[in-house]
Copies of this chain bind each other. A is one copy, B any other.
Amino acid sequence: MIDRTAEAPPARRMRPDVQRSLDALLTAAAEVFASDGVDAPVRRITAKAGVGAGTLYRHFPQRSDLITAVFRHEVDACAEAAPALADQYEPVEALTRWLRHLARFVAAKRGLKSALHSGDPAYQSLPAYFMERFVPALTQLLDAAAAAGDIRSDVIPYDLLRAISGIVEPDDDAYTQRMIALLVDGLRYGTHPALPK
């Protein structure tokens, strides 16, 4: 679900009409993003929310602000899956599983991949938030695996996140998984010899 109060932490109290607009906007955007992807026309969102275009732009001057607000909780959940996996599996297995988790997350949000890599100013703050959450999560997994001597320690988490989100192919999960496996094997190369396949 979506947290309708997270938008203005400093504001003392929110005018009820603002609250309603924000509420309708976020709900509508979530539905539209889910069905039509994050590149869906603005008008479809405002129409579904029963709100004017001006209202949308007032609250979300950057398109990425709306996307961030809508996906915030899911991004957080994905990041928080990292420690859980680290507890449950051995380091490399946990790493692999989390990368797959991440890939499915990106793949599930149609258009998110291109938005992340477009460089379009309308999406400026989007990669920032993703990295802010995912870099620490991934760093933890990489460090654990490196400490165990299962992977090398010269890989930059940020690099790997970019690579994963670049590789993701929403319509071909099998391919995406093969490529993640290949990247993980790349991380292992140069450590102890591979076990027999």
Which residues on A are within 8 Å of B, measured CB to CB? 113-114, 117-119, 155-156, 159, 162-163, 166-169, 171, 175, 178-179, 181-190, 193-194, 197
Contacts and interface: CB of A to CB of B under 8 A. Distances in A.
A146 B183 CA distance: 18
Count of this chain's copies in the oligomeric assembly: 2
Contact of A183 (B171, B182, B193): B182
Contacts of A114: 114, 117-118
Nearest to A110: B119
A23 B20 CA distance: 57
A162 B168 CA distance: 10
Residue from A186, A187, A188, A194 having most chain B Cβ neighbours under 10 A: A186
What secondary structure prevails in chain A residues at the interface with B? helix
A159 B186 contact: no
Contacts of A190: 185, 194, 197
Contacts of A119: 171
A187 B186 CA distance: 7
Nearest to A170: B119
Contacts of A171: 119
Contacts of A197: 190
A168 B167 CA distance: 10
A123 B171 CA distance: 17
Chain B CB within 10 Å, residue with most, of A117, A156, A175, A182:
A182
Nearest to A191: B194
A185 B188 CA distance: 8
Contacts of A159: 175, 178-179
Contact of A189 (B113, B162, B167, B185): B185
B167 A163 contact: yes
Contacts of A167: 162-163, 166-167
Among A114, A156, A163, A194, max chain B CB count under 10 A is at A163
